[in-house]
Amino acid sequence: MKIIRTALEIHQYCSNLKKTGRKIGFVPTMGALHDGHLSLIDLSLLKCDVTILSIFVNPAQFNESLDFKNYPRQESEDLLKIGHRKVDAVFIPSVDEMYSKNEPMLEFDLEGLDLVLEGKWRPGHFKGVITVVDKLFRLISPDKAYFGQKDFQQLCIIKKMSAALHPNTEVIGCEIIREPNGLAMSSRNALLTDTEKLEALIISKTLFEIKDNWEKSSIQELLNNAKREFEKSNLQLEYLEIVDAETLNSIYTKSNSPSIACIAAKSGNVRLIDNIILY
Ligand code: PAF
């Protein structure tokens, strides 16, 4: 497994691979790898000739400097975790390698997908995400790129950006991987104590309850019940919305198109998100 730290080297490495006609699978991450990331790597290994992983905690997508500072960074553990898998290269750039001073963010019209849900709570976040993903795609030119559906809004946004700017890259959304007790796997879980992890189960429990009662109850009833449960918990609910899975706009009555329940809640300073698809 090659470890590459410069933009020039990863670009040359990938251009050479492309010339041989091999299909490149790419898994972009911010590290603190967990089984969710490993499932993306395994899919890429299965479907592509070459698998490249990136580990880069992207400052441009953090709207709170403390959140950026506290984000878990565990490079050596990460490399150990993927050690026995046949990942071909891991790209681990520094911030200076990815961004020059005063570098502009990518200007791309997301047609409102960036203004709802996470976008309301984390202004500028998605601009930072598409800027770094566009940069990574330009360096790597992947044939397929794998993202988790836990960040459902991010996935929709990256699909939109990529379809316009990287039409030769297929963006693939992969199912959420959960702990046996239901907690969605997330790098941020590493910042929770054992008690906080148990308390955080209210997030997945709420989503499962909404799905289980989807046919029986109205959207308003489902949301009200869930919000009452959160009031009794130690987590601060930022939002719980049921949205159209395509437009991401809130829906108040059920329709035939797929919808998705999305939650963001804070356990202390740690912000957690999760979602469930409702048909
Ligand atoms: O989902 C993430 O880990 C990040 O947002 C991503 C896609 C790697 C961009 O920094």
Provide the whole-model pTM: 0.97
The upper half-sphere exposure of residue 94, i.e. CA atoms within 13 Å in the direction of its Cβ, equals 4
pLDDT for 210 beyond 90: yes
Q: Provide the CATH number for the domain formed by 187-277 in this structure.
A: 3.30.1300.10
* C-alpha torsion sign, points 140, 62, 74, 197: negative
Q: What is the mean pLDDT of residues 254-260?
A: 93
Catalytic residue list contains 37: yes
Whether the Cβ atoms of residue 89 and residue 52 lie closer than 8 Å to each other? yes
pLDDT for 83 beyond 90: no
Q: Provide the CATH number for the domain formed by 2-174 in this structure.
A: 3.40.50.620
Mutate to test the pocket of ligand 1, among 62, 95, 129 (most ligand atoms within 8 A of CB): 129
pLDDT for 38 beyond 90: yes
How far apart CA 235 and CA 203 sit, in angstroms, is: 9
Q: What is the mean pLDDT of residues 30-49?
A: 98
pLDDT for 245 beyond 90: yes
Q: pLDDT tens across 99-147, in order? A: 999 999 999 999 999 999 999 999 999 999 999 999 999 999 999 999 9
Whether the Cβ atoms of residue 48 and residue 24 lie closer than 8 Å to each other? yes
pLDDT for 71 beyond 90: yes
How far does the centroid of ligand 1 lie from the alpha carbon of residue 137, in Å?
Answer: 12
Q: Which of 11, 34, 37, 166 is catalytic?
A: 37
Name the residue ranges covered by the structural domains of the chain. 2-174, 187-277
What is the phi/psi pair of residue 270, to 5°?
-95, 125
- Which residue in this structure is represented by tokens 């308390």? 199
Q: In CATH terms, are 2-174 and 187-277 the same topology?
A: no
Residue 107 pLDDT: 97
Residue 184 pLDDT: 98
pLDDT for 279 beyond 90: no
Whether the Cβ atoms of residue 128 and residue 61 lie closer than 8 Å to each other? yes
Pocket of ligand 1 (CB under 6 A): 28-30, 58, 61, 129, 132-133, 151, 154
For residue 240, give both structure tokens. 């719980």
> Could you give the maximum distance between any two Cα atoms of the chain, in Å?
59
How far apart CA 236 and CA 222 sit, in angstroms, is: 18
Q: Which residue CA neighbors atom 5 of ligand 1 most closely?
A: 129
Whether the Cβ atoms of residue 91 and residue 140 lie closer than 8 Å to each other? yes
How far does the centroid of ligand 1 lie from the alpha carbon of residue 95, in Å?
Answer: 14
Residue 62, number of CB atoms within 10 A of its CB: 19
How far does the centroid of ligand 1 lie from the alpha carbon of residue 44, in Å?
Answer: 16
pLDDT for 30 beyond 90: yes
How far does the centroid of ligand 1 lie from the alpha carbon of residue 209, in Å?
Answer: 28
Cβ contacts of residue 61 below 8 Å, gap of 6+?
Answer: 125, 126, 128, 129, 132
